[in-house]
Structure 1
Amino acid sequence: MASADEQLGEPIDILLVEPNRGDTRLFEENFRNAKVLNTIHSVTDGESALDYVHQRGEYADKPCPDIILLEPQLPGKSGREVLQELKNDPELSDIPVVVLTGSDAEKEIVQSHGLDADTYIKKPIKPEDFVDFVQEVEEFWFAIVQQAPEQG
């Protein structure tokens, strides 16, 4: 059976949009320890996230992310505003977005604004919860890869 690395063939570029530096460090450490090849890029606010995906300013030489992990409660431009801009831009709307929710209520709030992320995953609270979180993101990514039309 092929490993996750062999199935994907190349690293996943993950953009983490998370204002809490401590959480960012936990995400990075746990993804680094995961079996999926990946590169985590992180920003702390919505405006930086949009600059990153548009490859503007200091992010001009950064790769377009394969997947975005988005905290909805951001300083400045909110996660909802970021999601709306991504989904309304034809060049960016295909990037899968995982909204990190603290609860089912938070998921419902995001959805009530008429914005649907590709999926919602409960944000880990305790360090030991990050292992399950990484596995959920990995499973979501594999589902996308398997659904993608094969290029000939």
Structure 2
Amino acid sequence: MNNAEIVNVLLVEDNPADARLIKEACGGFTIKNEVNTVENGMDAMEYLYKTGKYNDSKRPNLIILDLNLPKKSGREVLKEVKQDDKLKLIPIIVLTTSQDEEDICNSYRCYANAYVTKPADFDEFDELICSFEDFWFKKAILPTCQNCNRD
């Protein structure tokens, strides 16, 4: 991505403190970005399908997804997104407290692009989120989706 583009991130996180930390860390990125937050899996799907109160939402370039969410779990969101031809190319980083081997394996079976556990230490948490910019927005080449079945 070049510096003129604005990177759109969908943060699916029900913990307000974690959401605030992630948004603050993204605010320090050198790449221009917009982080939109939803607090549960049902709102995440409405956001992605542009329905309900999210009919004007922007398609994200990246999704940061917690697994343990109300209404619809992050596991269900991941599975649904990666089975939808119009959404499946959006990279999804699972960012969760779970270190359970089953959660890790199931996330990758459902085509998560990365699985990362939340550090307990504030500085480590900030450093982790900042590493997303370096890899996902400076090194990785993300689809612009002009011809990728996205609008």
Same-fold call, TM cutoff 0.5: yes
- Cα distance in 2 for residues equivalent to 1:117 and 1:125: 22
Classify 1:130/1:34 alpha carbon distance in 2 versus 1 (closer, same or farther; 3 Å): farther
Runs of 4+ in structure 1 off by over 4 angstroms are none
Give percent identity, aligned residues only: 34
1:111 maps onto 2:105 in alignment: yes
1:128 maps onto 2:112 in alignment: no
- Cα distance in 1 for residues equivalent to 2:59 and 2:143: 18
Q: Which residue of 1 aligns with 2:91?
A: 96
2:105 maps to a residue whose letter is: Q
| Structure 1 alignment gaps of length 5 or more | none
- Cα distance in 1 for residues equivalent to 2:35 and 2:53: 16
| Structure 2 alignment gaps of length 5 or more | 147-151
1:133 maps to a residue whose letter is: L
* Aligned 1:10-29 pairs, distance under 5 A: 10-29=5-24
Give secondary structure in 2 for the equivalent of 1:36: coil
- Cα distance in 2 for residues equivalent to 1:132 and 1:38: 17
State the aligned residue count: 143
Greater RCO, CA 8 A, separation 6+: 2
CA RMSD of aligned residues (A): 2.2
Query: What is the TM-score of this pair, normalised by structure 1?
Result: 0.83
Give the CA deviation at 1:41.
Answer: 0.2
Give the CA deviation at 1:104.
Answer: 3.8
1:36 maps onto 2:31 in alignment: yes
